[in-house]
Amino acid sequence: MALKTAKEYVESLRRLKLDLYMFGEKVENWVDNPVIRPSINAVAMTYKVAHEPELEELASTESMLTGEKVNRFASLFKSTDDLVKKVKLQRLLGQRTGSCFQRCVGMDAVNAVFSTTYEMDQKYGTEYHQRFRAWLAYVQGNDLCVQGAMTDVKGDRGLSPSKQVDLDMFVHVVERRSDGIVIRGAKANQTGTVNSHEMLVMPTLRMTEEDKDYAVSCAIPTDAEGVHLIYGRQSCDTRKLEEGDIDVGNYAFGGQEVLTVLDNVFVPWDRVFMCGEHDFSVMMVERFAGYHRQSYGGCKPGIGDVIIGAAAAMADYNGVPRAAHIRDKIAEMNHLVETLHACGLACSTEGWKTSAGNYQSDILLANVCKQNVTRFPYELCRLAEDIAGGAVVTVPSEKDFRHPVVGKYIEKYLKGVADVPTEDRIRMLTLIHCMSFGLTAPSYRTESLHGAGSPQAQRIMIERQTDMDLKKRLARSLAGIDKREDVLA
């Protein structure tokens, strides 16, 4: 099948029979639901750009499996150049949607599982890698959207999976049958599940022998029997149910997070890619995390570009674009965004070839990238709110603005510079509000903190990946504690 168009993608979602709940009710026509549709539009953009001639090389690539042209979000990374193009594409999509476009998790999961299954097979003589290749060829051939499912609900964080009071706090195998396995548990904070055709399940942390039932990776259709989806709340999300488009800010695009319940879901063996090989769980987790933390060097700078543009526009509308402190703040915002992007590019160019043949981003630098992402977007939002002014949180509703009695007062008293319509100023204020406070991404701030792992998770990986013995040897040599290097030798 050729690459799907955005329209074909949206129509393909209508064929899914999801068991989806939101606001205490089952959602039937979820594709046209005004709360959900902006997030569908954001994913659709990943399909749209693949058909734009000027972006063809960035948004699509040759399949490592079949040699056919595929969407980059369903591809394996064949080189460090592919890793760089991934980050550049993500920045462009962040710019064009101003939100999470949800396919990065699946792309990163595909590459992590691909290389890990190869090494599992090498050690144990299993058939996971060939199964995975066949499934991925199916995904690529049908241009499907895949959601990577890693984060478990975790229960008591002080206990391992097998020691939980409720053993379902981590997804695990509850039955092994001749034709497949049955799994149970839940995945939390799942980005884009409702907008995906398939879920690629992975373990969430390092497993021990006692936890081997939790060392499971498999592929599940999002509408499989036993899969229940509960849509996550977003700040100000019911604004999407109101008339008008001003109060929503970024009206066309948005993200989504879902609690994904797996209640005795059957998975046939040809869709199982890990089942008890607990010693490989850490490899899968670390490789996925490396890819996904690399991703944040693309999407978050792209969304940051929009926030910078909105802040600069507000400076114009407020009549202070040349004020020294405003210029300094916008310069700082650009510095922060470009630093994030530089980290994403650095861990891409320093990538390495796995035994399976695809390329892995540099894990240390990817974690440095994501550590910066846990901080810089907070400052970007703070500066945008500072430049915009207090009206960013007190601007009246669109209904008030359109009201025959009080509308004239809003038109008069929320005016900025004379040649900019009051409505333009209100629209820019609400864009900053929705991006900063959570309606669009959800929350550029909070998602930047917890997406792809908490700040402490990156610090652990930075410590694990850093060669401290080398650094100590360098210091001892220069200090003369160890033998100094003879520069003339």
Kindly list the catalytic residues.
Answer: 100, 104, 191, 257, 292, 296, 299, 447
Name 25's bridge partners.
22
CA gap 265, 177 in Å, rounded: 13
Question: Residue 434: left (phi > 0), alpha (psi -120 to 50), or beta?
Answer: alpha
Per-position b or e across 224-253, b if 16+ CB within 10 A of its CB = beebbbebbebebbebbeeeeebbbbbbeb
Largest Cα span, the chain: 88
Query: Cis omega (within 30 of 0) on the bond before 442?
Result: yes
Round to whole Å and give the CA distance between 208 and 282: 10
For residue 255, give every residue at least 6 positions away whose Cβ sits within 8 Å of its Cβ, in sequence order, or none.
Answer: 39, 42, 99, 100, 101, 102, 191, 192, 440, 441, 442, 447
Phi and psi at residue 197, to the nearest 5°: -85, -30
| Alpha-carbon dihedral angle through residues 76, 82, 87, 93, given to the nearest 10 degrees | -70
The token pair at 108 is 């990163």
Lookup: tokens for 149: 């499912």
